[in-house]
Amino acid sequence: MEVPITQFRKNLFELVNQALDGKEVWVSHKGSRLRLVPEHTPSKLSRITPMQIIVDGADIEDKSWKVEMMREWERKWDRRLGPLAKPERAVSVSGHTKVRKARRAK
């Protein structure tokens, strides 16, 4: 975010808080730009909000959900990959294969 010096004066504390939160704050004055940066920048990991990944009431020790999840993953992988692909024949610019050209040369 870039603001002129007059707007910076009006919203000084708000802009300083934004810089402390890790947002970029630029101040322009007479054609020059200044960047407002905190002395000790917080790490990105410290700003992560924790998520609850496991559903409440789920028993982590129960192995049945792992087996079911693995089956689902394998089914998706098989569908995406499909059967093994046959090797493609080399095709020239004209669209004819090199094998056909070799036969014509005989």
Residue pair 96/105 in contact (Cβ under 8 Å)? The answer is no
pLDDT in tens, 55-106: 676 677 777 778 888 888 888 876 666 655 555 555 555 555 555 554 555 5
Output the six-digit token pair for 67: 């087996």
Among residues 55, 83, 50, 51, which one has the least CA distance to residue 69?
A: 55
Output the six-digit token pair for 84: 């093994």
Tell me which H or E stretch contains 75.
helix 64-81
List CB contacts of 13: < 8 A, sequence separation 6 or more: none
Domains observed in the chain:
2-42 (3.40.1620)
pTM over 0.75: no
